[in-house]
Amino acid sequence: MLEKNVLYIGNNLYNSKTNPSSIQVIGKQLESAGFTMYYSSSKNNKVLRLLDMLYSCVKYKRVVSHVIIDTYSTSNFYYALLVSQLCRLIKLPYVLSLNGGNLPMRLEKYPKLSGLLFKHAKTLVSPSLYLQEAFSKHGYSKVAFIPNALNLVNYPFTYRPISDIRLLWVRSFCKIYNPCLAVDVLKALQDRGYTANLCMVGPDTDGSLAIVKQYANAKGVQVETPGKLSKTEWITLAKDYNVFINTTNFDNMPVSVIEGMALGLPIVSTNVGGLPYLIADGVDGVLVPPKNTEAFVSALLHLKAHPEQTMAMVLAAREKVSHFDWEVVKNQWQQVLVDG
């Protein structure tokens, strides 16, 4: 059926410096739901990548019913803009997958360019209520909330008592995620006499890994940095840790936090971007101000001192993310791409 043939436009690169992108994750999930997927682009050169994206729209115009375009708040915003205008010209319906936590800034600063991109989309798909609300405030009504999906069966729930504090951090090493704050938290805990350790998992995006290692060495603390791991590898590794921390300064709806919730790890995260739309503070996780070591330490010690409350919190988190299971979410994509 033509309506189940879809072209997905996004950054389809595979390398050691990034985690899997939306095109790679959602594309495979849609394939598992019976969609025939075409992808663009895996070109390393940015100009060639853009040209390949534009060419693919023309090439597959009569083969697909829709184009999904990954849309970010950084320079990739302009890829999405140019591809969307070509889709309009050749009358190919497009759906925008909103991924950038800073997209509201684009709406504020560049309303005309934003209008060209967003107003003509068949649907805007937001993985967070945060972006859905932000776009609604700017008059965009066709925003479907479809969360980042998990195959929940792959995430065994385990309650982890907190005696020693074993911290797990899972992100790309990137300045905007403020990884050095995790080192500060570890140092502060150890300075107070608590037995604590820290493992930071993820690829090095902008040289921040070397900075973190130097920073930890200067602070006199040891941090485990196993690098980029597969989902299976880091889920296995997570068994050895009992709290998940998220130190970012900007964010949308990070998959790693959702995965931590699914595994039964209590979450302590900065209260930025889409995080307060994902985590109800004190109910299914703890939110603290960004760049605040003491707030993180206080939250961690509270979790340690109140095991019954912590248990209730992780159970509530697991219940919340059960609604993000792919068996639920795939029906929402079906409504956008086929039934809508």
Q: Count Cα atoms within 13 angstroms, Cβ side, for 181.
A: 24
Q: Which of 8, 126, 11, 31 is nearest to 330 (CA)?
A: 31
Q: pLDDT digits over 105-132, tens only?
A: 999 999 999 999 999 999 999 999 999 9
Q: What is the pLDDT of residue 253?
A: 87
Confidence of residue 252 (pLDDT cuts 50, 70, 90): confident
Domains and CATH numbers, the chain: 2-149+325-339 (3.40.50.2000), 152-323 (3.40.50.2000)
Q: Which two tokens stand for residue 158?
A: 């385990």
CA dihedral 62, 24, 268, 270 (to 10 degrees): -60
CA distance 334 to 317: 26
CA distance 137 to 24: 30
Q: pLDDT digits over 289-302, tens only?
A: 999 999 999 999 99
**What number of other Cβ atoms are within 10 A of residue 85's Cβ?**
14
Q: pLDDT digits over 215-247, tens only?
A: 999 999 999 999 999 999 999 999 999 999 999
Question: Which phi and psi angles does 148 have, rounded to 5°?
Answer: -60, 130
**What number of other Cβ atoms are within 10 A of residue 181's Cβ?**
21
**Average pLDDT of the residues in 24-43:** 95
Q: What is the pLDDT of residue 13?
A: 85
Q: Which two tokens stand for residue 22?
A: 């939306």
Per the model's pLDDT, the better-predicted residue between 335 and 19 turns out to be 335
Q: pLDDT digits over 67-106, tens only?
A: 999 999 888 899 999 999 999 999 999 999 998 778 999 9
Is 18's pLDDT higher than 80?
Answer: no
CA distance 168 to 261: 12
Q: What is the pLDDT of residue 17?
A: 66
Length in residues, the chain: 340
pTM of the predicted structure, to 2 decimals: 0.89
Contact criterion met (CB below 8 Å) for 67 and 57: yes
